[in-house]
Amino acid sequence: MHIIIYFNDKPLFLTDTITDEIAPFAHHDDAVYMDELSAPGVNSMIHEMKQEKVHAGIYFHDDIDQLKKAFWRKFMLIQAAGGLVQNEDKAVLMMFRRGKWDLPKGKMDPGETPAQSALREVQEETGLAEVTLGTPLTTTYHTYDDAGHHILKETFWFNMTAPKSQPLVPQLEEQITELVWADAKALKEYTKNTFPSVRECLQKAGF
């Protein structure tokens, strides 16, 4: 089992097994490997992941829950939810926001479940009225700094479907300027300018 935390575009793997996905990173000169679970070790890994010369990190420990707790203590956790929406042609709804192609998502409101939040955010950001909530897709993690705080954003993603006949209305107040239905071939172009968490969602969905 492993958890990926993205530091910008750089993955940090918290893992109890060196899987086929992780193994190639272990042999790179620009990757950091650590297997000692301690507060100084966690601090050191976070510091290393922010260095320009480092492009990936692997933190190995046989108890993934302990490793996760040790990292979570270092951040302020913010939870969000969103959806990978497909129409009847299996095209994926992509949106352009702040210079990047993205999937609809947003922060969870107090008292909401991830599913409720994901459905609300998709409808608000896209203008879609008819959206069907499907199964959970994946959960992604990324970090950023805000007003002196180290933030860890946990985003719950769901599969969704919606008829393509509906009008698409981008939520301009959220700086969303364009919405498009992208087929599998077109997605390759959009993913050249997106976030690693979005690429992870698309991979999990089979794209």
- Same domain for 62 and 138? no
Going by C-alpha positions, the residue among 177, 176, 205, 202 that lies closest to residue 189 is 202
| Average pLDDT value over all residues in the chain | 93
- Same domain for 54 and 116? no
Q: What is the mean pLDDT of residues 9-19?
A: 92
Question: pTM to 2 decimals?
Answer: 0.91
Contacts of 142 (CB under 8 A, 6+ apart): 5, 6, 7, 8, 152, 153, 155, 195, 196, 197
CATH number reported for the structural domain that contains residue 101 in this entry: 3.90.79.10
- Same domain for 23 and 90? no
CA 186 to chain centre: 20
- Same domain for 109 and 127? yes
pLDDT band, residue 4 (cuts 50/70/90) = very high
- Relative orientation angle of helices 39-49 and 64-72, to the nearest 10 degrees: 70
From 72, 88, 106, the end of a domain falls on 72
Beta bridge partners of 79: 154
In the predicted structure, residue 1 carries a pLDDT above the cut 90 = no
- Same domain for 66 and 115? no
In the predicted structure, residue 33 carries a pLDDT above the cut 90 = yes
pLDDT band, residue 25 (cuts 50/70/90) = confident
- Same domain for 68 and 106? no
Question: Residue 150: its pLDDT value, please?
Answer: 87
Whether 90 and 183 have beta carbons less than 8 Å apart is answered as: yes
Beta bridge partners of 178: 96
Question: Residue 193: its pLDDT value, please?
Answer: 95
From 72, 87, 116, the end of a domain falls on 72
> How many independent structural domains does the chain possess?
2
- Same domain for 29 and 84? no
Give the residue with greater pLDDT, 149 vs 91. Answer: 91
Whether 58 and 26 have beta carbons less than 8 Å apart is answered as: yes
Question: Residue 27: its pLDDT value, please?
Answer: 78
- Same domain for 193 and 109? yes
- Same domain for 114 and 170? yes
Q: What is the mean pLDDT of residues 121-132?
A: 96
Beta bridge partners of 115: none
Q: How far apart are CA 55 and CA 11, in angstroms?
A: 7
Q: How far apart are CA 49 and CA 34, in angstroms?
A: 12
Question: Residue 162: its pLDDT value, please?
Answer: 97
Give the domain range for residue 167.
77-204
Question: Residue 81: its pLDDT value, please?
Answer: 98
From 53, 72, 91, the end of a domain falls on 72
- Same domain for 12 and 56? yes
Question: Residue 124: its pLDDT value, please?
Answer: 96
* Residues 18, 21, 23, 27, CA torsion sign: negative
- Same domain for 145 and 97? yes
- Same domain for 60 and 93? no
In the predicted structure, residue 149 carries a pLDDT above the cut 90 = no
In the predicted structure, residue 155 carries a pLDDT above the cut 90 = yes
Mind listing the pLDDT tens digit for each residue in 63-100? Answer: 999 999 999 999 999 999 999 999 999 999 999 999 99
In the predicted structure, residue 146 carries a pLDDT above the cut 90 = no
In the predicted structure, residue 160 carries a pLDDT above the cut 90 = yes
